[in-house]
Amino acid sequence: DDMVGDNEINTENSIDNDGGGGPLLGAASAGMANRDDNALVGQIGHGFVSGGISATYRTTMLRKWYSAPTVREQKGKPGELGKPVKIPTEMKELAKEKFKENQFNLVASDLISLNRSLTDVRHENCKKKHYPSKLPTTSIVIVFHNEAWSTLLRTVWSVINRSPRSLLKEIILVDDASERDYLGKKLEEYVATLPVHTFVLRTQKRSGLIRARLLGAEHVTGEVITFLDAHCECTEGWLEPLLARIVQNRRTVVCPIIDVISDETFEYITASDSTWGGFNWKLNFRWYRVPQREMERRNNDRTAPLRTPTMAGGLFSIDKDYFYEIGSYDEGMDIWGGENLEMSFRIWQCGGILEIIPCSHVGHVFRDKSPYTFPGGVAKIVLHNAARVAEVWLDEWRDFYYAMSTGARKASAGDVSERRAMRERLKCKSFRWYLENIYPESLMPLDYYYLGEIRNAELETCLDTMGRKYGEKIGMSYCHGLGGNQVFAYTKRHQIMSDDLCLDAAQSLGPVNMVRCHNMGGNQEWVYDSEDKSIRHTNTGNCLQRPSREDPTTPLLRPCNFSRGQQWLMESKFKW
Q: Which is nearer to ligand LR7, 143 or 408 (CB)?
A: 143
Q: 319: which strand partners?
A: 224
* Closest distance of CB 229 from ligand LR7, Å: 4
Span 134-193, contacts to ligand LR7 by CB under 6 A: 143-145, 147, 176
Residues at the interface with Mn ion (CB under 5 A): 229
Q: What are phi and psi of 463, to 5 degrees?
A: -60, 140
The entry of Mn ion, ligand LR7, none near residue 147 (CB within 5 to 8 angstroms by kind) is ligand LR7
- The Cα–Cα gap between 479 and 50 comes to 55
* Closest distance of CB 311 from ligand LR7, Å: 7
The entry of ligand LR7, Mn ion, none near residue 258 (CB within 5 to 8 angstroms by kind) is ligand LR7
**Which of 22, 208, 305, 332 is in the footprint of ligand LR7 by CB under 6 A?**
208
The entry of Mn ion, ligand LR7, none near residue 448 (CB within 5 to 8 angstroms by kind) is none
* Closest distance of CB 312 from Mn ion, Å: 9
Give burial (CB, 10 Å; 0-12/13-18/19+) of 202.
middle
β-strands 198-202, 168-175 pairing: parallel
Stretch that binds ligand LR7, among 181-189, 313-321, 429-437, 529-537 (CB under 6 A): 313-321
Q: Which is nearer to Mn ion, 8 or 229 (CB)?
A: 229
Instruction: Give the three-class secondary structure for 131.
Output: coil
User: Minimal CA–CA distance to 300: which of 575, 2, 38, 50?
Assistant: 38
* Closest distance of CB 277 from ligand LR7, Å: 8
* Closest distance of CB 13 from ligand LR7, Å: 4
- The Cα–Cα gap between 45 and 43 comes to 6
Binding mask 251-290 for ligand LR7 (x = CB under 6 A): -------x--------------------------x-----
* Residue 235: count of CB within 10 angstroms of its CB: 24
User: Minimal CA–CA distance to 477: which of 408, 551, 543?
Assistant: 551
**Which of 136, 164, 313, 332 is in the footprint of ligand LR7 by CB under 6 A?**
313
N-term to C-term CA, the chain = 31
Binding mask 344-373 for ligand LR7 (x = CB under 6 A): --------------------x-----x-x-
Q: Which is nearer to ligand LR7, 231 or 455 (CB)?
A: 231
Span 314-333, contacts to ligand LR7 by CB under 6 A: 314-315
Stretch that binds ligand LR7, among 160-168, 205-213, 394-402, 557-565 (CB under 6 A): 205-213
The entry of ligand LR7, Mn ion, none near residue 335 (CB within 5 to 8 angstroms by kind) is ligand LR7
**Which of 253, 335, 383, 451 is in the footprint of ligand LR7 by CB under 6 A?**
335
- The Cα–Cα gap between 419 and 244 comes to 31
- The Cα–Cα gap between 215 and 220 comes to 9
Where is 1: in which H helix or E strand?
none
- Say which amino acid occupies 447: D
404 binds ligand LR7 (CB under 6 A): no
The entry of ligand LR7, Mn ion, none near residue 339 (CB within 5 to 8 angstroms by kind) is ligand LR7
* Residue 396: count of CB within 10 angstroms of its CB: 11
* Closest distance of CB 118 from ligand LR7, Å: 17
β-strands 268-269, 252-261 pairing: antiparallel
Annotate 274-295 with DSSP letters as a single string: SEEEEE-TT--EEEEEPPHHHH
Q: Where are the alpha helices (DSSP H) in 360-416?
A: 378-393, 398-403, 406-410
* Closest distance of CB 387 from Mn ion, Å: 23
Which residues have a Cβ under 8 Å from the Cβ of 234 and sit 6 or more positions away?
Answer: 155, 158, 159, 162, 163, 228, 362, 363
Q: Are 570 and 491 in contact (CB under 8 A)?
A: no
The entry of Mn ion, ligand LR7, none near residue 370 (CB within 5 to 8 angstroms by kind) is ligand LR7
Binding mask 213-252 for ligand LR7 (x = CB under 6 A): ----------------xx----------------------
The residue ranges of DSSP E strands in 312-397, in sequence order, are: 316-319, 353-365
Q: Which is nearer to ligand LR7, 307 or 429 (CB)?
A: 307
Q: In the complex, which residues of this chain contact ligand LR7 (CB under 6 A)?
A: 13, 143-145, 147, 176, 208-209, 212, 229-230, 258, 285, 312-315, 335-337, 339-340, 364, 370, 372
